[in-house]
């Protein structure tokens, strides 16, 4: 398992935990709002849960862009690299 795969799996787990329901398999570029039937508030709660679980903070001005697994994984990685610097 690569770091990227591991991170993707952890984000997926955070999503499932935050929604408290079964989550269908997600492709990296699935629109989470459409795929999971989220309203805008659930979307924000989801991002909050991922931040908390993975100990990261997304850039405020990018919140609206975080609609796919790939975008979230990249944002988590960027957040961690930002912290290391």
Residues that bind another protein (CB under 8 A): 39, 41-42, 44-45, 47-49, 51-52, 60-61, 63-64
How big is the chain by its Cα radius of gyration, in Å?
Answer: 12
Closest CA to 62 of 49, 75, 44, 50: 75
Least separation in angstroms between residue 60's CB and another protein is: 5
Least separation in angstroms between residue 32's CB and another protein is: 16
Least separation in angstroms between residue 52's CB and another protein is: 5
CB within 8 Å of 44: residues ≥ 6 apart: 63
**Among residues 26 and 47, whose Cβ is nearest to another protein?**
47
**Among residues 62 and 80, whose Cβ is nearest to another protein?**
62
**Among residues 20 and 85, whose Cβ is nearest to another protein?**
20
CB within 8 Å of 72: residues ≥ 6 apart: 11, 32, 47, 50, 66
């Amino acid at each position: 398992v690569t770091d990227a795969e591991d991170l993707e799996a952890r984000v997926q787990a955070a999503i499932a935990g935050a929604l408290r329901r079964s989550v269908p398999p997600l492709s990296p570029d699935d629109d989470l709002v459409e795929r999971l039937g989220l309203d805008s508030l659930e979307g924000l709660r989801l991002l909050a849960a991922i931040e908390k679980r993975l100990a990261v903070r997304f850039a405020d001005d990018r919140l609206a862009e975080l609609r796919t697994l790939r975008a979230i994984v990249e944002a988590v990685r960027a957040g961690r690299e930002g912290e290391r610097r």
